[in-house]
A and B are shown apart, each in its own frame.
Chain A
Amino acid sequence: MTREKTDFWVGLFVLLGIIALVFLALRAGNLSSFSFAPTYQVQAYFDNLGGLKVRAPVKSSGVVVGRVAGIGFDNQRYQAVVTLDLEKQYEFPSDSSASILTSGLLGEQYIGITPGGDDKMLAQDSTIQYTQSAVVLEELISKFLYSSADKEGTAKGGQPAPAPATP
Chain B
Amino acid sequence: MSPTKAIAALGGWIIDSIHRLGALARLLVTIAAGSGAAVRRPGLVSQQVHFIGNYSLVIIAVSGLFVGFVLGLQGYYTLNRYGSEEALGLLVALSLTRELGPVVTALLFAGRAGTSLTAEIGLMKAGEQLAAMEVMAVDPVRRVLVPRFWGGAIAMPILAAVFSMVGIIGGWIVGVLLIGIDAGVFWSQMQGGVDIFKDVANGVIKSFIFGLAVTLIALFEGWNAKPTPEGVARATTRTVVSGALVVLGLDFLLTALMFSN
Which residues of A come within 8 Å of B, CB atoms?
3, 6-7, 9-10, 12-14, 16-17, 19-21, 23-25, 27-33, 108
B191 contacts partner chain A, Cβ-Cβ < 8 Å: yes
Please give the distance in Å from A30's CB to the nearest CB on chain B: 6
- A24 and B187 CA atoms in complex are apart in Å by 12
A5 closest partner in B (C-beta): B50
- A22 and B260 CA atoms in complex are apart in Å by 26
Determine if B57 and A13 form an interchain contact, defined as CB atoms under 8 angstroms apart.
yes
B164 contacts partner chain A, Cβ-Cβ < 8 Å: yes
- A148 and B197 CA atoms in complex are apart in Å by 47
Q: Which of B43, B46, B154, B200 contacts A24 (CB 8 A)?
A: B200
Determine if A13 and B164 form an interchain contact, defined as CB atoms under 8 angstroms apart.
no
Q: A3-B43, A25-B200 are in contact. Are A20 and B161 (CB under 8 A)?
A: yes
> In the complex, what residues of B have CB within 8 A of residue A10's CB?
46, 49-50, 53-54
Which residues of B come within 8 Å of A, CB atoms?
43, 46-47, 49-50, 53-54, 57, 93, 97, 154-155, 157-159, 161-162, 164-165, 168, 187, 190-192, 194-196, 199-200, 204
- A29 and B97 CA atoms in complex are apart in Å by 10
- A12 and B50 CA atoms in complex are apart in Å by 10
Q: Which of A28, A32, A108 contacts B200 (CB 8 A)?
A: A28
5 A-B residue pairs with Cβ-Cβ distance under 8 Å, sorted by A, are A7-B43, A17-B157, A17-B162, A29-B199, A30-B196
Determine if B46 and A7 form an interchain contact, defined as CB atoms under 8 angstroms apart.
yes
> In the complex, what residues of A have CB within 8 A of residue B200's CB?
21, 24-25, 28-29
Please give the distance in Å from B234's CB to the nearest CB on chain A: 31
Q: A24-B200, A32-B191 are in contact. Are A9 and B50 (CB under 8 A)?
A: yes
Residue from the set B50, B93, B164, B195 with the largest chain A CB neighbour count within 10 Å: B50
> In the complex, what residues of A have CB within 8 A of residue B159's CB?
17
Residue from the set A6, A19, A33 with the largest chain B CB neighbour count within 10 Å: A6
- A50 and B41 CA atoms in complex are apart in Å by 57
- A20 and B93 CA atoms in complex are apart in Å by 13
Q: A7-B46, A33-B191 are in contact. Are A13 and B158 (CB under 8 A)?
A: yes
Please give the distance in Å from A50's CB to the nearest CB on chain B: 19
Determine if A28 and B50 form an interchain contact, defined as CB atoms under 8 angstroms apart.
no
- A3 and B46 CA atoms in complex are apart in Å by 9
Q: Which of A9, A17, A28 contacts B194 (CB 8 A)?
A: A28
Q: A6-B47, A21-B161 are in contact. Are A30 and B54 (CB under 8 A)?
A: no
Q: Which of A6, A29, A108 contacts B46 (CB 8 A)?
A: A6
> In the complex, what residues of A have CB within 8 A of residue B168's CB?
23-24, 27-28
Determine if B196 and A16 form an interchain contact, defined as CB atoms under 8 angstroms apart.
no
Residue from the set A6, A17, A24, A25 with the largest chain B CB neighbour count within 10 Å: A24
Determine if B165 and A20 form an interchain contact, defined as CB atoms under 8 angstroms apart.
yes
B151 closest partner in A (C-beta): A10
Q: A10-B50, A20-B165 are in contact. Are A28 and B190 (CB under 8 A)?
A: yes
> In the complex, what residues of A have CB within 8 A of residue B161's CB?
17, 20-21, 24
A55 closest partner in B (C-beta): B195
Please give the distance in Å from B11's CB to the nearest CB on chain A: 46
B84 closest partner in A (C-beta): A106
Please give the distance in Å from B194's CB to the nearest CB on chain A: 5
Residue from the set A20, A28, A29, A30 with the largest chain B CB neighbour count within 10 Å: A28
> In the complex, what residues of B have CB within 8 A of residue A17's CB?
157-159, 161-162
- A30 and B190 CA atoms in complex are apart in Å by 8
Q: Which of B54, B155, B165, B195 contacts A9 (CB 8 A)?
A: B54
Determine if B192 and A30 form an interchain contact, defined as CB atoms under 8 angstroms apart.
yes
- A27 and B43 CA atoms in complex are apart in Å by 34
- A20 and B156 CA atoms in complex are apart in Å by 13
- A86 and B190 CA atoms in complex are apart in Å by 25
Determine if A20 and B54 form an interchain contact, defined as CB atoms under 8 angstroms apart.
no
Q: Assuming A3-B43, A25-B196, what are 7 further A-B pairs, CB within 8 angstroms?
A: A9-B54, A13-B50, A13-B54, A19-B165, A20-B162, A32-B191, A33-B191
